[in-house]
Structure 1
């Protein structure tokens, strides 16, 4: 049984701005921004009976930039937050020693677009930098010293194309970089996806180019020494005729466990297992598919229901499957075993003239194959059923390619827990849609830039984007952000197979629709589009209690939440 109750918080703070540029320090004049806050008057909340904790917003920093990725990935170190500001191509440094009044005190900037940041226990920081002019060109990792009052850039090394995420091993000896290798926007070229392994110095200093090794996917090509499972999605046109597998696989998220890295291959619906000692990809684990005909795994796939207007309705559907396609991926240990946790956002390939998704009702038109007459989904192509749902045109075709026997939706609208062999031990199923509907029924499956009803039902629902894991009072929790409807949902994952919902909080005022009302009301709307989360343990928290930092790419806000134990 779930219970809903509003929480009221409000804080305000002037913000002072300074700057640190690559390779040197530069003090910017203090600029007083308007005294505004992204903490809304009444965040929506759902709390499970018997919940051991809740979330409450404490303070927020606003860039004032809307829908330009001004707050993406966030890392915490020594009373500061380091927030990737892709819009400005840098990392914002926020002082949060007074959590209710975060203030910007500096920047870390490389020669390009910042995508990710991580900081070692001794203060060695690393930033993944994409080439600003050509994302298919090699990127770089910039090193900085976070122990200084004004963080100092120490140097850089070259890595693969479009470094999307960087993680540091628990022992601090290595940085691991997921080089996504996205195609050019016009699909004129498609670089290889790779994983860079960087041996880090024992001091707060920059690595050298000799410390960088690259793990690639060449052995999974035809004729290579390793086998690629059939369920690993390799599809679509390839501008270059050589290395089609290596160009198709696009590493995105990294979790490091000892001498092994687990790397999410989102569009491929798989996870790569990387041997860090050898800098080789040992295997690729296919994640399989969710069957939306099974009880507990239904979805609401339509923004136009039987009466023609959006209404809430989760159902199961024969002939429909979902691809997990995880974005965020983290690892943790339970009862001596390592598990992987994925936020199953979903993603399609759309480059140049190649467009993977299509609405079910459009199958059979414009050169697309129709749904097979013998498919269980053949009678479900109307708008009130599956007609509005976006599905993959690259999956489910009959052997002769003339029709679709099954339909495959993007993402699973869930999070999952897996063994390191790729066996699923838990999936949240249809929980996310049911819980977010209870929290704000009039804005179920809302978009982020616009407050609406069922704006995302025909696509990927709440869209679980990223996650963080932390321990509170001896229990392990997963904190998962919803990119579209917004908010953070919390699950107790201490016993992976018996994981359970704890609480959901959305610091958003749905009465403000920025796309309609204008960006001058951005502060009133709250947090939109959570992209990156960081758990701050009690011993590292400015309050002495555990906290959660959330970077929101649409609202350009970074918000701190207290994690409050319920006695």
Structure 2
């Protein structure tokens, strides 16, 4: 166990650093490279591909990543770091599990196992220039991580011989046992005849007969640290003698203010005691200290990272602090609450100038925590957005670069592809996050995500309100946003309630003030799921006190995509219907009105752009001065995204006709193309720009929906478009 007094002081240092915002320089993403660009000729573009473990050439200009789905290696030219270019793909005779570079050779461990009980694999040395395999060594088992010593004398390979997680519920032991292989290098190529095997059985308290080495790394003294993740153990080996010089349990940690239940809510009020760290990756900070990312595997996962001395002492424990940064940036993966939370998996260490940085990769949160090493408690610097499932990263201090490899490819689900992302350290301010939350009255981080509709306070510039959608179906909320600071800050979450409980059967997509301290909320219905198409009024405390159900004249033409925004003009509420219903002509949707004095419904038609791919619909409606602003978007991402736009309609055009008859068609005018805004952070363009409002000073703000970090990077774009 760690020293709780030290942890508290460490947390105080972090909180102070965040509060002051003092930062002379920052890392910012400068480019994203889709691994689909590296697909070989003759391979369909819809083939799954992945960047898992990444390495960089000694000149810092070529990246090499392992691509498990395609059973090969991908190469990326970053001579111009702002414009990464595909540099080819090499097919292997098995699944690459890791990659490293020694001199002019790429070293990769290749898994050729036919079953869990007959693990096999080899170590390949590949010429970096001609991409030809020049040497291969049989490893006698299934490889996982590999690492090259800093002096280029040795390569270490963790032979995991992983277990079958479906056999006996994944319980250990499942033989054959794993081990470590050390091979001397000659001009970057391994000497197969002089490989040595280091046994690791009998060391761990858990599964001693079945060690499963996961990750390896060298310090300057050619000492190798090895994680035995499933065994919750750490081993230090001398590469020269191939002898174990120390080993110890990775131990456990107490976690406070965490969410432990997968229930569509963000509730950080639980405690988890004696949680096994079960570290995945490990990196030396210097010759005496190393860092572990405590992802967890079967019986643990401590949601953070730990700094150990090689003699076994815990020098620093992040506990829940790293996860709290993930939460406040809107990147918390609620669906992982019942397991391992944000799952810190990868690590990178780099010395840039006088500062050494620790980069902690949250696999499920899609983010990278950046910490400055102080020799004691590390200082939190910033959080970087990193695509879906960042698996590994490499630093290139000579070029002030950090590169991440994000393994998840959602091509089968028509989602984002796997990406390699490039970041640069310079004297610019951190561009991300653009919005984050604070803590509530009892010190818990305010959880948020899936922001949809927005509205602005009528009197106070920069004071905004937003709602979340049905991803958090059991926690509908109104978020109070202070946009007068950078990043904008969510200062309060007000639950939407009915009869004293969280209101159910809601899919909040729009919000507008009622002019009396309360709000009108638009809920998108899903009749098959018994979620009504309706408008709700809430008081300032979020209590529903009035419901307006859509009339039969509207509902008889229903399709699934309903209300996506709401605004108040005089005595009338105006609701944007996302897509055309059964009675709408092609490329039109309805703007529906409800007069609060006469209690009558009406509508006009709004003309949408034709879809190049997928569909085009509305996401927001906001009245300001004499105009009504409307977001129109397609449902495409990345390079396929074409329509993410803000239009305006003159309020004088909104002359509702009765439902069921002929409806007038309004005229629209383009105000802004949002795609440049969505490209500004140098990631891929997301599909859901969903909220827009104009504050009391006439300043416009927009926000994207991050889908609750479910098959999503978790990134939220929040930005101002200036005076309207």
TM-score of the alignment, normalized to the shorter chain, above 0.5: yes
Partner in structure 1 of residue 469 of structure 2: none
Partner in structure 1 of residue 159 of structure 2: 179
Partner in structure 2 of residue 253 of structure 1: 215
Q: What displacement does 1:184 show?
A: 4.6
SS at match of 1:490: strand
Q: Is structure 2 residue 199 aligned with structure 1 residue 216?
A: yes
Partner in structure 1 of residue 520 of structure 2: none
Partner in structure 2 of residue 53 of structure 1: 25
Partner in structure 1 of residue 303 of structure 2: 413
Distance 1:314 1:431 in 2: 14
Distance 1:506 1:193 in 2: 35
| TM-aligned CA distance change 1:288 to 1:66, over 3 Å | farther
Q: What displacement does 1:55 show?
A: 2.2
C-alpha contact 1:108 1:153 (8 A) present in aligned 2: no
What does 1:268-307 align with in structure 2 at a 5 Å threshold?
A: 268-292=231-255, 297-304=256-263
Q: Is structure 2 residue 481 aligned with structure 1 residue 499?
A: no
Distance 1:285 1:66 in 2: 46
Equivalent of residue 313 in structure 1, options 260, 263, 268: 268
Runs of 5+ unmatched residues, structure 1: 4-45, 221-227, 235-244, 349-391, 393-409, 447-453, 508-526
Distance 1:84 1:263 in 2: 21
Distance 2:190 2:296 in 1: 35
Distance 1:67 1:256 in 2: 36
C-alpha contact 1:175 1:198 (8 A) present in aligned 2: yes
Distance 2:311 2:389 in 1: 32
Deviations 1:278-329 (A, max 9, x none): 323344211211123xxxx44221233xxxx513324435xx3211111110
SS at match of 2:303: coil
SS at match of 1:435: helix
Equivalent of residue 162 in structure 1, options 135, 139, 142: 142
Deviations 1:256-299 (A, max 9, x none): 1223211000011111122322323344211211123xxxx442
Q: Is structure 2 residue 350 aligned with structure 1 residue 470?
A: yes
Output the TM-score relative to the length of structure 1: 0.65
SS at match of 1:200: strand
Deviations 1:195-215 (A, max 9, x none): 0010111x24x4343121111
Q: What displacement does 1:345 show?
A: 0.4
Partner in structure 2 of residue 327 of structure 1: 280
Q: What displacement does 1:48 show?
A: 6.5
Output the TM-score relative to the length of structure 2: 0.51
What does 1:113-124 align with in structure 2 at a 5 Å threshold?
A: 113-120=95-102, 122-124=103-105
C-alpha contact 1:59 1:559 (8 A) present in aligned 2: yes
Deviations 1:134-170 (A, max 9, x none): 4542211000122x2x333211001132110110111
Q: Is structure 2 residue 292 aligned with structure 1 residue 342?
A: yes
Q: Is structure 2 residue 114 aligned with structure 1 residue 133?
A: yes
Q: Is structure 2 residue 183 aligned with structure 1 residue 198?
A: yes
| TM-aligned CA distance change 1:344 to 1:194, over 3 Å | same
Q: What displacement does 1:560 show?
A: 0.7
SS at match of 1:164: strand
Distance 1:58 1:207 in 2: 36
Larger relative CO (CA 8 A, sep 6+): 1 or 2? 1
| TM-aligned CA distance change 1:315 to 1:184, over 3 Å | closer
C-alpha contact 1:67 1:554 (8 A) present in aligned 2: no
Distance 1:303 1:185 in 2: 21
Distance 2:271 2:422 in 1: 37
Runs of 5+ unmatched residues, structure 2: 1-11, 37-44, 169-173, 410-417, 430-724
Distance 1:265 1:167 in 2: 16
Equivalent of residue 536 in structure 1, options 375, 396, 399: 396
Distance 1:312 1:249 in 2: 36
Distance 1:551 1:154 in 2: 26
Q: Is structure 2 residue 363 aligned with structure 1 residue 483?
A: yes
Distance 1:214 1:66 in 2: 41
Distance 2:326 2:290 in 1: 24
Q: What displacement does 1:494 show?
A: 3.0
SS at match of 2:336: coil
| TM-aligned CA distance change 1:76 to 1:200, over 3 Å | same
Larger radius of gyration: 2
C-alpha contact 1:491 1:500 (8 A) present in aligned 2: yes
Q: Is structure 2 residue 434 aligned with structure 1 residue 560?
A: no
SS at match of 2:176: coil
SS at match of 1:84: strand
Q: What displacement does 1:566 show?
A: 5.6
Distance 1:301 1:536 in 2: 37
| TM-aligned CA distance change 1:253 to 1:445, over 3 Å | same
C-alpha contact 1:67 1:553 (8 A) present in aligned 2: no
C-alpha contact 1:73 1:116 (8 A) present in aligned 2: yes
SS at match of 1:330: strand
Distance 2:157 2:19 in 1: 37
Distance 2:153 2:77 in 1: 27
| TM-aligned CA distance change 1:565 to 1:344, over 3 Å | farther
Q: Is structure 2 residue 313 aligned with structure 1 residue 423?
A: yes
Deviations 1:456-502 (A, max 9, x none): 2221111111110011230111011110011111011131x221211
Equivalent of residue 206 in structure 2, options 204, 229, 233: 233
Distance 1:326 1:67 in 2: 32
| TM-aligned CA distance change 1:498 to 1:282, over 3 Å | closer
SS at match of 1:161: coil
Distance 2:195 2:165 in 1: 28
Distance 1:504 1:48 in 2: 16
Q: Is structure 2 residue 105 aligned with structure 1 residue 105?
A: no
Q: What displacement does 1:346 show?
A: 0.5
Distance 2:19 2:109 in 1: 37
Aligned length: 391
